[in-house]
Amino acid sequence: MDPNKMEGGARPPFFDAPKTQGGEAAANAVPLSARTGPQAPAAAKTVPEPAQPPVSGEKTPLTCTQQAAPTAEGCEKTAPAYGPQPAPAERAPGPQAAPSPAPAKDAPPPAYAGPRPASATEVPGPAPGAPAPARPVWAKWMAPAALLSWLWGWAYVRGWLLGFENGPLFRVLFCALFLAGVEWMCRAAGRPASKESRLWLALWVALTADYTFKTASLFYNEAVMMWEFAALHLAAAYWVLARAGVLTEQRTGPFLPLDVLRAMIAVPFGNFFLRVRVLARALGDFLQSLAHRKKGNLWAGLVTLCAAAVVVLLAARLLASADDAFGAALEAFFRWFTLPEAMVTELVYFLLGLPVGAYLFGLAAGALKTVPDPARGPALRAGAEKLRLAPAGALGLSMALLLALYAAFFAVQLNYLTGGFFGSLPAGFTAAEYARRGFFELCAVVVLNFSVLTAAAKASRIPLRQSPALKGLAALLCLSNLLFAAVGASKMFLYIRRFGFTPKRIVSGWFILVLALLTVLALITLFRPFPVVRVAAAVFCGLFLALCLSQPDLWLRAANRQLVAAGVLDEEDVGDRLLYARPQYSTWD
């Protein structure tokens, strides 16, 4: 009798022969019965199943032998089909589990399926190997923050855009709500506050407080009002990125312009409709939770409340018809539910604040969606190094031609340019014409020189500090910048000495001072490297804050009065705004 067909027995499984060093298996499979029993008749060759690629991270399964009385020792780890087989005496009798398929010979290695860093706005997903969810799961704080952004938009429109009545109060309310909301969102997302973020917060709070004070107590605040308004918005947006820890280099650095564009444009407008998606998801989850409840109780309760409302309204109508006094009282009660004019106005403010709130929520939540990546800054620096394509000789020749042009300009216009230093006017010019002509052009030339220095430092194949020729030409450009700034300052000084202070002259003089200080920093960094962009940002913010807090609209009036008393000025120059104001608003002490 064929031992493979014995009653109560099963056909023994076949195991592939061990692979050789060259990776080739034995031609024929050897039955297990041939090893433990008498010689069995030759069986037909079995066609092996195609090998399946292994799953990354999958452990070797454990199998249990199918015995009549299984014991704890009946489970063992399945040996691989392509490895050496254990001795026949060690195998348990009975049917054996099918061998694990061998990987294909030319199968590619499994891809890495490690965990991805999760965003702050998403909760951790399922474990590897589990089916991925159809949609991301928002963090729990997203829906309340989206509702809070409605108040942000309403308070902003009420205080900053259309704050004709109680404007300063709503400005303070908006700043408090926005500050508390962003801080709560960052804490809920687990983002710690850096020291630099506190400095940007202090700058924003100081500018906001100064602006609110000026608009609340002073009428004439023309000097820096427009610039301060723009600066406090920029400081607030930049503080959000710094607080969320998603600046390009985790701090202010050479990528400051890129971070400013991200804070004002890319992040808020890129997540402009994020609030809609979050609220729609929250509403859908709420309705889905209602659907899991007992529908009979829910609908029965709704029908009962509707029937009770009908009964109450019918009874009230009958009682009002029966007694005039009760009818008048009932009419006065329902008058409370009519929208007054003030409520309609606030509703308009609320509707206008919807896009503002979407912008602010997109800024805050979009920043928290971004995963902080300390390697982003070094990667961008490494990419910028690949852009060093300009030959050093061509850059040096361009800078030399630019310096030759400046030398020719100073040689031709020496008497004209130096007139302001000695208080003398060129022939045919008044003080106003001499000060205004060429002032802004000279400032534009200084800014152009900064652009040339930046391009030479970032695009040259040879770094600027490693080439003595390029370093010398860059130093000469910095000196020419200082000379242009000095000429512009002399023109402005002559203008102020003849006609006194005005808001525009104060801002122009401050701008010349800033350009001169930035030029000095650029000149120093050529010979002693330091984080010049970071220091320049601190200098600029400090000087601007000092200008705003000095209240230039107050002290310029005091200075002009002293010039009039000394006989330098014939009359006080108060600027365009007060010049055409009504008499009761044109003077204040």
| Helix orientation angle between 167-188 and 341-369, rounded to the nearest 10 degrees | 30
On whether the pTM is more than 0.85, the answer is: no
Dist. CA 13–CA 48, nearest whole Å: 12
Dist. CA 475–CA 482, nearest whole Å: 11
Instruction: Give the C-alpha distances (Å, rounded to integers) separating 304 from 170, 226, 287.
Output: 44, 60, 21
What tokens appear for 469 in the block? 């020729």
Residue 65 has pLDDT above 50, yes or no: no
Q: Bridge-partner residues for 390, per DSSP?
A: 460
DSSP H or E run through 468: helix 468-499
Put residue 551 in one of left, alpha, beta given phi > 0 → left and psi -120 to 50 → alpha: left
pLDDT in tens, 518-559: 999 999 999 999 999 999 999 999 999 999 988 887 788 888
Q: 170, 158 in Cβ contact below 8 A? A: yes
Three-state SS sequence of 212-244: HHHHHHCCCCCCCHHHHHHHHHHHHHHHHHHHH
Q: 553, 220 in Cβ contact below 8 A? A: yes
Q: Work out the pLDDT band at 56, boundaries 50, 70, 90.
A: very low
φ, ψ dihedrals at 30, nearest 5° = -105, 125
Residue 413 has pLDDT above 60, yes or no: yes
Q: What is the three-class DSSP state of 492?
A: helix
Return the higher-pLDDT residue of 186 and 555: 186
* Highest-confidence segment of 47-56, 71-80, 130-139, 451-460: 451-460
What pLDDT does residue 424 have? 64
| Helix orientation angle between 195-217 and 225-244, rounded to the nearest 10 degrees | 150
Q: What is the residue-wise DSSP string for 127-177?
A: PTTSPPPSSPPBPTTHHHHHHHHHHHHHHHIIIIIS-SSSHHHHHHHHHHH
| Helix orientation angle between 503-527 and 532-549, rounded to the nearest 10 degrees | 160
Q: What is the three-class DSSP state of 460?
A: strand
